[in-house]
Amino acid sequence: MSRLLRGVGAAAVVGARGLSLGPGARGGSSRRFCSRSRQALPSPSPAGTENGRRRSPLAWTVGAAAAAAAAGLAGLGLARRAEMEALQPDDGGDDDDLARRCAGFMAPPVSGLAELRGRRGAMQSRMEVLIMETQGQVCRALAQLDRGASFTVDRWERKEGGGGISCVLQDGEVFEKAGVNVSVVYGHLSEEAAQQMRSRGKSLKANNGKLPFCAMGVSSVIHPKNPNVPTIHFNYRYFEIEEADGTKQWWFGGGTDLTPTYLNKEDAVHFHKTLKEACDKHGPALYPKFKKWCDDYFYIKHRGERRGIGGIFFDDLDSPSKEEVFQFVQSCAQAIVPCYLPIVEKHCHEKFTPEEKLWQQIRRGRYVEFNLVYDRGTKFGLATPGSRIESILMSLPLTARWEYMHSPPENSREAEILEVLRHPKDWVH
C-alpha cells in the first residue's frame, strides 16, 4: 500500500468551495493592492491552430499553458501591467525566481510578495504559490482557446483575515461560464466549522474556545457552450489549525472530475489516464482509491446517479509527510491542463442540434441539484453569516433546465451516458 494512502481517513469532505467562505468575506480592493482589477486577456489565435497550421488535439501540455501565460502578460491593461511589473526581479537567487513565478499569476499574490519571501520555505507560502500558478495556467489556457473570452479578475478581502482572487469568464465563444478562484484565509474557526471537523474524526483542542486556522486553495468549474465538450471541476486545498498547546494539525484535500453531456469513450480514457499518470508517480494504489472516492462523493442520491464520470477526489490527507503530500498535490494540479484542454480543443467547434443542447441543459440541472442539495462546502457557506455568495455560487452554470418526467429514448446517446452515471466504469484497464 502506498505511504500516502495510510494518511487518508474515511471522513466526509468539506467541499470544493469551503475555503473561500467564512464570516466577514466581502468583495473589494485588497489592503495591499488598491483597486479591483477587471481586464480582458488578449485574443489568441483560433483554437486548434499554430502559425496557421492545425495542431494535434492532444498536444496540450502544462508547458503550452506557460507559453500562453508569457504571451498574455504583454496584452494586459496599463494598471494591471504596472502591478505585475512591480513584481519583476531585479536581483539574482531565490528572490529572483519567486518574482518570476509571481509575474505569471493573474494578479499579485494574496499575501504579497514581501510576505511570501519572508516565509519562503513554509508550506503556507509554497501552497499559495502553487495555487496562484495553477490559476494562471488554467485561465490563460482557456483564453487561448476562446477568442471571445474576457476574464474578470476580482480581488476580494475577508474582514477576519486573508482574501482571494476570482477569475470569471462569461459568454465566450467556447465557454458559457468558467470560474477559477483562489482563496487564502486565516483567523479563528467558527464553532460550526469546528464541529464539522470533529465529526470527521478531528480531535481539536481549543484555547478559550478559539482555534486559529489558515486555509488556502484553488477551485474551478468550467461550463462550455457546446454539448460535446464536458464540464470540469477541480479543487486543491491546504488546511492548518493550531491547537491550545501549540500543536499544529494540517491536511490536504482536492481532486479533478469530469461531467460530460454525452459519452465519448476516447475522451474518458484520456482524462482518467492523465490523472492516473499523475497519481502513479507517488504510488500505484492512489488512483484506484481516489477514483472510487470521487465516484462515491459525487452521487446524486435522489436521482440514483453520479454527477459525472468521475476522476479523483481525496480529503484529510496528512501523511506520510507534509512534503510528500505536497508533491502529490502538485502533480495533480499540473495534470489539469493536459487532462482537459485536448478534449475541449477536439470538440469545441463541432456542430450540434437543438435537441442536444436541450439535453445539455437538463444535465446542467442535475449539476445544480448536486451542488445545492449535497455539496457540503456549498451548504456550509450558504449557512455562514458574511459569506461571499458570488464565490460560493460561481460553480453554477448560466443556464439549466428542468423538464417534468423527462426520460431519454432507449438505446439513445442520452441513455448511454445515463447508464455510465448509474454504473461507474473503469476507464484505464
* CB-CB contact of 21 with 383 (8 Å): no
Give me the DSSP letters along 308-335: SSEEEEEEEE--S-HHHHHHHHHHHHHT
Give the span between the Cα atoms of 204 and 97, in whole angstroms: 38
Nearest to 275, CA basis, from 337, 344, 335, 324: 335
Cell (9 digits) for 213: 486556522
Catalytic residue among 223, 233, 282, 347: 233
Give the span between the Cα atoms of 294 and 426, in whole angstroms: 13
* CB-CB contact of 136 with 69 (8 Å): yes
Q: How far apart are the first and last CA of the chain?
A: 19
Q: Which amino acid is at 89?
A: P
Active site residue 302: no
Cis peptide before 320 (omega within 30 of 0): yes
Give the span between the Cα atoms of 236 and 309, in whole angstroms: 19
Cell (9 digits) for 147: 477568442
Q: Is 35 helix (H, G, I), strand (E, B) or coil?
A: coil
* CB-CB contact of 326 with 127 (8 Å): yes
**Active centre residues (catalytic):** 233
